[in-house]
A = this chain, B = another copy of it.
Amino acid sequence: MPQSNLWFTELQNENLSIGLRIEKTLHSEVTPYQTLDVYETKQYGRLLVLDGCVMTTDKDEFVYHEMLSHVPMHTHPNPKNVLVVGGGDGGIIREVIKHPSVERAVLAEIDGAVVEASKKYFPQIAAGLSDPRVDVQIVDGIKYVEDHPDTFDVILIDSTDPIGPAVGLFSKKFYESVFRALKSDGVMAAQTESPFVNQELIQNVMRDVRGTFPISQLYLAHVPTYPTGMWSFTMGSKVHRPQDVQTCRVQNTRYYNAQVHHASLALPQFVKELVES
């Protein structure tokens, strides 16, 4: 029986692409901020695409969502107030509220259409958004951070790629603003692309975070649907060190555990040299 020959292709950069066989289109929309598509893939289940870039899939979303959240959340000894900038699909929020200490988690997403599409097409990712501790704000995250000094224990920056609406989320000015929005022992983390293709970006972010926070740390995870599959996150912390984490405080994870926490901090030699240079 012949296969459907319908493929979604992401040109990850001008020389590299990934292709996913598609069973059907579920949704296509031009929001005020970006294009938004939802596809049913054969390999990874449902796929969320913003401006032509893979955002998340049913089958591998757990890696990114667990690792952007649990590494900094565990680094803080007692996170009560958490802010997620971006992350409208709800995956980061879902992980954040697994921490029993969390009293309030704010989602500051600029594009309400992402939240709606996630609720409809990715109910298991969006599940946490209806938790009573969660406050979904459809606002400009940059402005929200500026307006809330000394408020949060942890801030997680779940942005799209550093083009279009997300450019401002990769600037020193923004990290300084995040620093002010954090309490005196706060921790932040941001997704910062692939060390195999985005060396310059990673170096710039590390320089900016290092210039802002007393403690900084790049860490890594395997995200199959992102370019090269090796994904980096950058953490900034005022007091607490990620190396000091002893135990895993959350259950029902599929990627994160205490060993993986520490393994993610061990950088391959070329990445180590990249961030130390």
Question: Chain A interface (Cβ within 8 Å of chain B)?
Answer: 1-11, 13-25, 28, 30, 35, 37, 39, 41-43, 51-52, 59-60, 62-63, 194, 196-197, 220, 222-224, 228-230, 253-257, 259-260, 262-270, 272
Contacts and interface: CB of A to CB of B under 8 A. Distances in A.
Nearest to A264: B263
B229 A4 contact: no
A230 B224 contact: yes
Contact of A222 (B24, B257, B268, B272): B268
13 contacts: A2-B52, A5-B11, A16-B18, A16-B19, A16-B21, A17-B18, A25-B25, A220-B222, A228-B229, A253-B269, A257-B269, A257-B272, A262-B263
Given A6-B8, A255-B269, A43 B16 contact: yes
A115 to B, nearest CB: 21
How many copies of this chain does one complex carry?
Answer: 4
The 6 closest A-B pairs by CB, nearest first: A229-B229, A263-B266, A263-B263, A224-B228, A15-B42, A17-B19
Contacts of A256: 268-269
Contacts of A197: 43
Contacts of A51: 2
A6 B39 contact: yes
B4 A7 contact: no
